[in-house]
Amino acid sequence: MSKPRTRHHMRELLLVNWLICATPPGDAGQCTPPEGSCWTRIRQLMPAAAALRELKEWSLDEPARRFDAQDWWYKLTFDASPRNFAEPAVLGFDGLATIAQVWLNGKLLLASTNMFVEHECDVSSVLKDNDNELLICFRALDAKLAMPRKRPRWRAPMVAHQQLRWFRTTLLGRTPGWSPPAAVVGPWKDIWLEQRRQFHIKDLCVEVSVDDTTGTVKCRLACEPLGGQTIDAVTLQLERCGRVDVQRLSGRVGTIFFAGQLQLGNVDLWWPHTHGEPSLYSASLRIRIAGILDETVIAIGRVGFRTITLDTANGNFSLNVNGVSIFCRGACWTPLDPVTLRACPEASQAAVAQARSAGMNMLRVAGTMVYEEHHFFDACDEQGMLVWQDLMFANMDYPGDDSEFMASVVLEVSQQLRGLQATACLALLCGNSEVEQQAAMWGAPRELWQPALFEDTLAQLCADHAPGTPYWPSSAHGGSFPHQASTGTSSYYGVGAYLRPLDDARRADVKFATECLAFANIPAAATIGRMPGGLAIRVHHPEWKARSPRDLGAGWDFDDVRDHYLGTLFHTDPQKLRYTDHDHYLTLGRMATGEVMAASFAEWRRPASPCGGAMVLFLRDLWAGAGWGLIDDSGVPKACYHYLKRALQPLTVLLSDEGVNGLFAHVINERNEDRPLELELTAWREGDVLVASGRKLLTLPARSAQSFAGVELLGQFMDLTYAYKFGPMTCDAVVLTLRDQLGNQLAQAFHFPGGLGVRSEIDIGLTARATMVDAQTAELTVHTKRFAQGVHFAVPGFHADDDYFHLPPNSEARVTLRGAGSGPLMGSVHAINSIKSARVDFAASAIGDPHREKTK
What's the pLDDT at 822? 58
Q: Is the pLDDT of residue 30 over 90?
A: no
Q: Is the pLDDT of residue 212 over 60?
A: yes
Average pLDDT over residues 521-527: 97
Q: Are 326 and 318 in contact (CB under 8 A)?
A: yes
Distance CA(633)–CA(635), nearest Å, equals: 6
How does pLDDT run across 384-435, given as a tens digit for each residue? 999 999 999 999 999 999 999 999 999 999 999 999 999 999 999 999 999 9
φ, ψ for residue 402, nearest 5 deg: -95, 120
Give, in order, the Cα–Cα distances in Å from 163 to each of 150, 405, 417.
Answer: 9, 13, 26
Distance CA(564)–CA(537), nearest Å, equals: 21
Q: What radius of gyration, in Å, describes the C-alpha atoms of the chain?
A: 29
Q: Is the pLDDT of residue 32 over 60?
A: yes
What's the pLDDT at 839? 94
Residues ≥6 apart with Cβ < 8 Å to 246: 235, 236, 237, 238, 262, 286
476 DSSP 8-state letter: S
Average pLDDT over residues 563-580: 96
The separation between CA 107 and the C-alpha centre of its own chain, rounded to angstroms, equals 41
Distance CA(271)–CA(322), nearest Å, equals: 8
What's the pLDDT at 198? 86
Model confidence band, residue 5 (pLDDT cutoffs 50, 70, 90): low
Average pLDDT over residues 750-764: 91
Three-class HEC string of 388-456: EEECCCECCCCCCCCHHHHHHHHHHHHHHHHHHCCCCCEEEEECCECHHHHHHHCCCCHHHCCCHHHHH
Q: Is the pLDDT of residue 297 over 90?
A: yes
pLDDT, averaged across the chain: 94
Alpha helices in 421-557 (DSSP H): 435-441, 452, 458-465, 504-507, 525-528, 542-545
Q: Are 145 and 163 in contact (CB under 8 A)?
A: yes
What's the pLDDT at 832? 97
Distance CA(738)–CA(746), nearest Å, equals: 5
Q: Is the pLDDT of residue 97 over 50?
A: yes
Average pLDDT over residues 772-783: 91
Average pLDDT over residues 31-42: 92
What's the pLDDT at 81? 80
Distance CA(598)–CA(613), nearest Å, equals: 14
What's the pLDDT at 807? 98
Distance CA(722)–CA(704), nearest Å, equals: 30
Q: Is the pLDDT of residue 848 over 50?
A: no
What's the pLDDT at 856? 41
Q: Is the pLDDT of residue 52 over 60?
A: yes
How does pLDDT run across 616-675, given as a tens digit for each residue? 999 999 999 999 999 999 999 999 999 999 999 999 999 999 999 999 999 999 999 999
27 against 545, higher pLDDT: 545
What's the pLDDT at 87? 82
What's the pLDDT at 510? 98
Model confidence band, residue 3 (pLDDT cutoffs 50, 70, 90): low
Q: Is the pLDDT of residue 849 over 60?
A: no
What's the pLDDT at 852? 36
Residues ≥6 apart with Cβ < 8 Å to 385: 272, 273, 330, 352, 355, 356, 360, 361, 362, 363, 379, 425
Q: Which helix (H) or strand (E) holds 643?
A: helix 639-647
What's the pLDDT at 853? 39
Q: How many CA atoms lie within 13 A of 461 on its CB side?
A: 24
Neighbours of 470 (CB within 10 A): 18
What's the pLDDT at 365? 98
Q: Are 572 and 564 in contact (CB under 8 A)?
A: no
In degrees, rounded to 5, the angle at the alpha carbon of residue 74 between the alpha carbons of residues 68 and 77 is: 175
Alpha helices in 123-215 (DSSP H): 141-145
What's the pLDDT at 290? 86
Neighbours of 228 (CB within 10 A): 8
Longest alpha-carbon distance in the chain? 94
Average pLDDT over residues 464-469: 94
Average pLDDT over residues 225-247: 92
Q: Are 391 and 458 in contact (CB under 8 A)?
A: yes
Query: What pTM did the predictor assign?
Result: 0.96
Nearest to 325 by CA among 338, 314, 310: 310
Q: Are strands 328-333 and 100-104 parallel, antiparallel or unpaired?
A: unpaired
Nearest to 789 by CA among 770, 809, 769: 809
Q: Is 205 exposed, middle or buried (0-12, 13-18, 19+ CB in 10 A)?
A: middle
What's the pLDDT at 28? 78
Residues ≥6 apart with Cβ < 8 Å to 308: 319, 320, 321, 427, 428, 468, 469, 470
φ, ψ for residue 628, nearest 5 deg: -70, -15
Average pLDDT over residues 791-802: 94
Model confidence band, residue 851 (pLDDT cutoffs 50, 70, 90): very low
What's the pLDDT at 225? 87
Nearest to 612 by CA among 450, 449, 498, 472: 472
Average pLDDT over residues 571-586: 96
Nearest to 212 by CA among 267, 260, 174, 165: 267
Nearest to 503 by CA among 589, 549, 568, 587: 568
